[in-house]
Chains A and B, each alone.
Chain A
């Protein structure tokens, strides 16, 4: 029930709605739960609603940390 997917906003529509690209599939969703959203943003999509914008910098930071750990493990 709480499952949600990252999807990229491809087009903003009227009435707090938008089109997203969900792994190659185009889908219309609601952005009514978000303050600001722009085309190109990644959002977390749940039952047809964007719950939040995905923070791409934070995603990279987490992946960077994993890469660092792997490098650290290889050199020890």
Chain B
């Protein structure tokens, strides 16, 4: 397909790998986090670790919305699905994620609940139109990439005067998660590096990390391969504050293997030059401003939650979105009486530490033994963006890299 195949060219990949090897100083260890699960997937699918010198280490981040959704929210979705006359719709991966007691939406479906997998939120709206006597709930998850369609559909439902459609909103915010992850590192900033033109001034040292998650240890990062499609929506400027605050270079990269290699090269060059910028490698799709129409739509329909729980990162203030009161009729959390559950994780599952980049999938006792894509015990094994699923699918050889 056009604009995909060209960015998988093996000769260019070798050239980029050679340039990375030339630029990486042998005495220095580069620890780069690919925030997005989509990038983790690309890295393992194309065997990129084998093209990188030993001192360039890629660490997977928490950018997999299925993975970071806490079990308590999945329990709520299962409770919704089992209510009488409810049709619960969601994107495919969500149906297989284990909630408390290893129960999933798919198992609820097997027990008779009407749970439907949809490709687009539009499909959920159509189901609501076709089933006026049922309550149709869309279980919405995702980072900023997936949020604008949800906001758009809520407005559409209002326009169509639908009274049987609502959204269980779980949309989360990328730059806030990045900030939280860096807080956990509790790093000291290096004022000597130079900010980029147009970047905001540094806004002070990171505050103390939350004790509960910090106790688990931390990982020191030198820079980020930044999200591809999230950044189409929010623009590169959305990361400028976090980049400057923690002195971490960020290069926004496309999801093809050449994009990832190119962004790694750009990061190494920034680190070597002692620069700290938000750069765009994925220039064919991302701008500094982002998609303003989508941003306006999100601002019209959704607002910040005071706090939201993330698997692996704990409760993070202002890290997720909820439906504004003007659209309360379409808010499943207001429309239904949802039970409060604590959410019980599998005792031995290391998803939390894996999402923080502190552990590799192969460090988990359950990995590839009892936890497999066919029988996932934790969310990181369910989604194709999950680090465990990526390492499982594309060879355990890449697990050490």
Contacts and interface: CB of A to CB of B under 8 A. Distances in A.
Nearest to B39: A2
A6 B230 contact: no
A10 interface: no
B1 interface: yes
Interface string B256-269: 00100010000000
B22 to A, nearest CB: 9
A69 B19 contact: yes
Interface string A45-60: 0111101101110110
B63 interface: yes
Interface in A25-76: 30, 32-35, 42, 44, 46-49, 51-52, 54-56, 58-59, 61-63, 66-67, 69-70, 73
B199 interface: no
A1 B284 contact: no
Interface in B129-154: 141-143, 145-146, 148-149, 152
A66 B146 contact: no
Given A30-B122, A70-B11, A73-B18, A46 B145 contact: yes
B66 interface: yes
B258 A66 contact: yes
Nearest to A28: B122
Contacts of A46: 145-146, 149, 229
A32 B1 CA distance: 24
**Most A CB atoms within 10 A — which of B123, B146, B262?**
B146
Interface of A: 1-6, 8, 22-23, 30, 32-35, 42, 44, 46-49, 51-52, 54-56, 58-59, 61-63, 66-67, 69-70, 73
